[in-house]
Structure 1
Amino acid sequence: MKLHSIDTGFFKLDGGSMFGVVPKSIWQRTNPADERNLCTWANRLLLIEDGKRLTLVDTGIGDKQDDKFFSHYFLHGDDTLDKSLHAKGFHRDDITDIFLTHLHFDHCGGAIKREGEKLVPAFKNAHYWSNEQHWNWATNPNPREKASFLKENIMPIQESGQLQFIKEGTPYADKVDVRYAYGHTEAMMLPQVQYKGKTLLYMADLLPSVGHIPIPYVMSYDVRPLTTMDERQSYWEEIVDNEYILFLEHDPENACCTLQRTEKGIRVKDVFRLDEI
């Protein structure tokens, strides 16, 4: 098995929304905002190369939305999904599986592309993996999440016949287990990979960045913030006890980190690139 970090560029979101009840005077120390109060975030994906199976975890925002949509998120940077795949020696048609942690637009928008007037899978040879509980939640969205669950990102996956469901309690693959979190959204999946004698946990939106490590630093986007705090407390203890490596999807600077106990609680220990493992 070999793991690759796939950079797809950056986007911006409101800093206050990203840090919830935490004051700007505190969160801006780690994630400085621009004059519009927007902070920069990465869309960093994980590519799992395992024999004949090539799995991409999440797909980023994609490029099929209109100018009005993109005007809210200020996409920027030199990296693209195709450019980063090419740098690793791959093409999107080589992808055999798309593992979707959840169906918010910044995690699954790149799963679908436009071909003329049609919306079709952007990875024509891939199975798309979700779970039935989250799929039902996303296709019948509550008012709070409706703007993040976009039908054009989701329904064409099912219509293509390429959709598959992972059953809770079962692994995704050899050396890849699936963990779950319910605070950010219903049944978000976190792939946990055994790699080079270590355990790597893909954090998705349970931990967007190193700046979010303190337990109360919960995003306003989370549908159950108190559940998120409980999940973080449990996960953080397990992560420190077992020396897990965390893969960060949205941190603009740091791809991976480890945690440690300090007098102030659990905090960051080391930060590093995936290829430094």
Structure 2
Amino acid sequence: MDSKLFTINTGLFKLDGGAMFGVVPKAIWSRSNPADEDNLCTLAMRCLLVQDGDRLILIDTGIGTKLHAKVLPYYHLHGNDTLNDSLAAHGFHPDDITDIFLTHLHVDHVGGAVIHQNDGLKPAFKNATYWSNQEHWDWATVNPNDREKASFLKENIMPLQESGKLQFLAIEEGLQFSPNMHVHFVSGHTRGMMLPVLQYKGRKIMFVADLFPTTGHLPIAYVASYDMFPLQAMNEKRQWLQKAMKEDYILYFEHDAINECCTLQQTDKGIRAKDVFQLTDV
């Protein structure tokens, strides 16, 4: 039986355009991702709900609602979408979710997994199992590096372990997570990031997380300064672009504020977006 997929929008935020595109000059990257007067680009926090057999799987959770007041201004949160409202729009409640699949533990991906409740921090989805992997968990919690540790907030992560609801996937390329969902692993952005590939209506849809934050990041050299290992990230981008184009994947973007999905084509400048569309158009 095929899976059912639902777009879950959790709001918008802004990050520095230079940080999002690394060494690429603004005159080039601003063509696809225009910045405001403060050099900030608008980004989405677009999650994905997967109904696969008897499981209801939420891929990532957005930034949540508990950012400290000192940190909040740096993210420029805006928009009317929320995680719970988006679930409700499709007829679901947080208590319906069976699995929270966390591509990685950066604040804009895991923040919504934990909420304030009764003067404490509790998992937001009380009936769900939370999934990471040991390599990435250790990378985020044991001794996080100075460049990345500001994205690994303890209040977003440790309550998952303390709840007893956290489990780790084996790092096995192409691991089958559910009947129509397989997991792939990349480590250029952060160690052990997990990328789901889903069978849907006879197509393969890849949730690309921060391997390709936006369609503007499809060029191999357009690597964010947030990537811990940029040369590895470039190699992973090249490999996945070639595979995705050869096998006619649909890419589903977590952070592109305009483009939700795209297919790929070969151009004289490399592999680029072909058709852009909404998931409901598949």
**Fold in common (TM above 0.5):** yes
1:63 aligned to 62, 65, 78, which one? 65
Match of 1:166 among 164, 169, 174: 169
**Alignment root-mean-square deviation, CA:** 0.8
Separation in 2 of the partners of 1:9 and 1:198? 27
Q: How do 1:112-191 and structure 2 match up within 5 A? A: 112-140=114-142, 141-169=144-172, 170-191=175-196
Counterpart for residue 85 of structure 2 = 83
The DSSP-based 3-state class of the residue aligned with 2:222 is: coil
The SS at the match of 1:171 is: strand
Q: How many residues align?
A: 277
Query: In 1, Cα distance between the equivalents of 2:270 and 2:103?
Result: 28
Distance 1:199 1:152 in 2: 35
> What is the CA-CA distance between 1:158 and the residue it aligns to?
0.1
Match of 2:105 in 1: 103
Runs ≥4 residues deviating over 3 A: none
The one-letter amino acid paired with 2:138 is N
Q: Distance in 1 between matches of 2:148 and 2:119?
A: 27
Distance 2:71 2:62 in 1: 15
Alpha-carbon deviations, 1:8-35, whole Å to 9, x = none? 1100000000000000011111111111
1:26 alignment partner in structure 2:
28
- Give the CA deviation at 1:266: 0.7
Give aligned-pair identity as a percent.
Answer: 60
- Structure 1 residue runs of 5 or longer lacking an equivalent are none
Q: Deviations over 1:170-229 (max 9, x none)?
A: 311112110111100001000011111110110000000011110000000001000000
Alpha-carbon contact 2:52-2:180 (below 8 Å) kept: no
Displacement after TM superposition at 1:51 (Å): 2.9
Q: Which among 219, 237, 240 is matched to residue 232 of structure 1?
A: 237
What's the CA shift for 1:69?
Answer: 1.4
Amino acid at match of 2:211: L
> 1:263 — aligned with what?
268
In the other structure, the counterpart of 2:39 is 37
Deviations 1:73-97 (A, max 9, x none): 1110011111111110001111110
Q: 1:208 maps to which residue?
A: 213
Please give the secondary structure, in 1, of the residue aligned with 2:176. Answer: coil
Aligned to 2:247: 242
Q: Is the Cα–Cα contact under 8 Å of residues 129 and 165 in structure 2 kept in the other structure?
A: yes
Could you tell me how far apart the structure 2 residues matched to 1:207 and 1:22 are? 15
Which SS does the other structure have where 2:150 is aligned?
A: coil
SS for the counterpart of 1:266 is strand
User: 1:52 Cα shift?
Assistant: 2.2
How many Å separate the matches in 2 of 1:263 and 1:54?
41
The code of the aligned residue for 1:38 comes to: L
